[in-house]
Amino acid sequence: MLQGAIMNALKGIALQIGATFLFTIMQALVRIVSERIPTGEVVFSRSFFALFPLLAMLAWRNEISAAVRTAHPFGHILRGTIGVTSMSLGFSALALIPLADATAISFTAPLLTVVLAALVLREHVQTYRWAAVSVGLCGVVLMLWPHMSGEFDTTDHVLGAVLALFAAGFTAGAMIQVRRLTETETTPAIVFYFQALGAVAGLATAGWGWVIPGFWDAVLLLTIGLLGGVGQILLTESYRYAPASVVAPFAYSAMLWSLLLGFVLFAEVPPVLVVVGAGVVIGAGMYVIWRERRPGARREDIPAPPPGAPEA
């Protein structure tokens, strides 16, 4: 029994790392195509093509009916609106700032989820969580400082950092709405309706400057969607094999992947303060996860999902 539990935990961890890796590659490709393709077109591709692996998985599990059945369609519309806004802001930020910087700032989302859970859901948040949020926000200031202090020659870095921060805020808002939906809605329905609404929202921007992509850009747009869809499947599967407190810390591997891909693909080396700030935010998140793994921890206070599932 113990060996089986260990194997399941390792499988969950491997799936989480795999999902995080695919999401990071997806973001790198978004950064590449954003030079030529409008954000709305990228959002459409990310959402529409992600439906193919998602629907394949649901059909294989005979969960199509569960995915389309809903008691709260307007709840999905609200979640979709917030999530698509987060996706659009995040993609816009990727066009302006280095991949690692955008990834580091996205780690703000779980901290903001704690704040919104207290304000919107009226959840009880224990003192140590508030302490972790306070420390984490200090790390956010460190990450933003190089962009706001004039260290870079262009104002694009300021705008990109602000967009990334707002994207994290909307991600936190989306997670709050997801928690509301989980009271009555199935996981397949929550994931399916978000992807479908994202595709519709992206398509609605077609009249605002869409372009006909060249062959390689079309391949990249298709790949972005497929990676997002497969990444979402792996992320969801990781929680089938192990508790969130076990797999969540490995979502922070996104920082490692973004540093590696940023350097290899774009010759980007983030400022030291960005890396230090990301370390502070990650440390705050890890501390909360460690505290909540202790016996008697209040599991209902754990915000989900962890970093790595951003707008998905």
Whether residue 73 lies inside any domain: the answer is: yes
- Contact assessment for residue 22 and residue 249, using Cβ atoms and an 8 Å cutoff: no
Angle at CA 123, nearest 5°, toward 121 and 128?
135
CA gap 168, 21 in Å, rounded: 19
Give the model's pLDDT for residue 170. Answer: 95
Give the model's pLDDT for residue 310. Answer: 45
Q: How do the pLDDT tens digits run along the chain, 312 residues long?
A: 556 666 677 888 899 999 999 999 999 999 999 989 999 999 999 999 999 999 999 999 999 998 999 989 999 999 999 999 999 999 999 999 999 999 999 999 888 888 888 888 888 878 888 888 899 889 998 898 887 776 666 778 889 999 999 999 999 999 899 888 988 898 889 999 999 999 999 999 999 889 999 999 999 999 999 999 999 999 888 878 877 777 878 888 999 999 999 999 999 988 888 899 999 998 888 887 777 666 555 544 444 444 444 454
Whether residue 306 lies inside any domain: the answer is: no
Whether residue 272 lies inside any domain: the answer is: yes
Domain span at residue 200?
A: 2-301
Task: Specify the number of domains making up the chain.
Answer: 1
For residue 228, what are its two tokens?
């997002």
CA gap 203, 56 in Å, rounded: 22
User: How does DSSP classify residue 299?
Assistant: G
What count of other Cβ atoms lies within 10 Å of the Cβ of residue 98?
24
Give the model's pLDDT for residue 182. Answer: 86
Whether residue 312 lies inside any domain: the answer is: no
3-state per-residue secondary structure call for 108-139: HHHHHHHHHHHHCCCCCCCHHHHHHHHHHHHH
Q: Burial of 62 by CB count in 10 Å (0-12 exposed, 13-18 middle, 19+ buried)? A: exposed
- Contact assessment for residue 277 and residue 143, using Cβ atoms and an 8 Å cutoff: yes
User: How does DSSP classify residue 183?
Assistant: T
Q: What is the pTM of this model?
A: 0.89
- Contact assessment for residue 32 and residue 223, using Cβ atoms and an 8 Å cutoff: no
Give the model's pLDDT for residue 302. Answer: 42
Whether residue 127 lies inside any domain: the answer is: yes
Give the model's pLDDT for residue 152. Answer: 63
Question: Can you point out the beta strands (E) in the chain?
Answer: none
How many alpha carbons lie under 13 Å from residue 259 in its C-beta half-sphere?
13
Whether residue 309 lies inside any domain: the answer is: no
Whether residue 138 lies inside any domain: the answer is: yes
CA gap 71, 83 in Å, rounded: 20
Whether residue 310 lies inside any domain: the answer is: no
